[in-house]
Structure 1
Amino acid sequence: MTGARGGASSDFKRDLLAQLPTLRAFAVSLCGRHDQADDLLQNTILKAWSNQESFTPGTNMKAWLFRILRNDFYSELRVRGRELPDSDGHHTAQLSVQPDQHAALDLKDFARALEALPNDQREAIVLVGASGFSYEEAADICGCPVGTLKSRVNRARAGLRERLSLAEDDDFGPDAAFHAAGRPAKSG
């Protein structure tokens, strides 16, 4: 830097360095921990240095620096308030998402197993399990007694479990639509 700007920059640097002890003391009083206070102080210095053109020479640098430090501290508190402490990774592990390829393969297996069912069973399980109709509504749509439709749905569920090699209480796939096909429909 040359000329007046170079002189202003060295004045800024000198004034900034002169405020470090009081800034650090203020940071410690806010944070309560020396390591966090040092991080806060470092962020304050970096922000002040990168925004020195917004500082008006001749005004109160101490107040300007304290305001930067204070604003940075409260911004960090707001961010931390929205974060969940998870040092052991327990919560993160629960948020994991199954890879798409498993669901795609499960869906293909399910579609093949569904297609292999007899037409009357496939129709019944789709109406009750996937479309959400009650047994009575599905029986009315199929033109058969409710007991016949319940029997078709039960045989379809058993056929799907057998074709997919699932135990009675196994879930199939990560999607709720798969689970709905295996649960009894609500009556009424």
Structure 2
Amino acid sequence: MKSALRASDPREDIITHLGEMRAFARSLTRNAVSADDLVQDTIEKAWRGFHTFRPGTNLRAWLFTILRNTHYTNLRKTKGAKIVPVEPLAEELVGHPGGDTYIAMIDFERALGMLPVEQREALVLIGASGLSYEDAAQTCGVSIGTIKSRVNRGRTRLAALLGRQGDDMG
């Protein structure tokens, strides 16, 4: 007889990370449709490879690692392919055109897009996705010091692009 107190299957928890995965994918691909495709590919790979996931470890970091690796694999496969244009953020996310919030978000999105991919990736993983420095370092396959450096340089560059002092960025 199976115990009623059986531990839940971590695969059931994937859905709780979909929003964060989509945001990270969007920061990498700079296109909503491509981001959705990337998240779908990631979920499929995670599902097939779930036997490699170690229960008790960070599922979100594991999923983000798969997503990141899938993105770079796709880039290598499509080298020289047509670049998909960057889409503006949805109006409902940033306010009405012409409003201060809308303009600030468009400025932020453009400035974020101007950062080197390593800095943008680090900022999104730490700032937007809420990963720890350790998990972000593991996701990117670098040391914690490297992630901290990328975040610091990214914040500094972002502040400069937005015409703010470094301590305004938080």
Q: TM-score range by the shorter chain?
A: 0.3 to 0.5
Length-normalised TM-score, structure 2: 0.43
TM-score between both structures, scaled by the size of structure 1: 0.39
Larger Rg: 1
Greater RCO between the two (CA within 8 Å, min separation 6)? 2
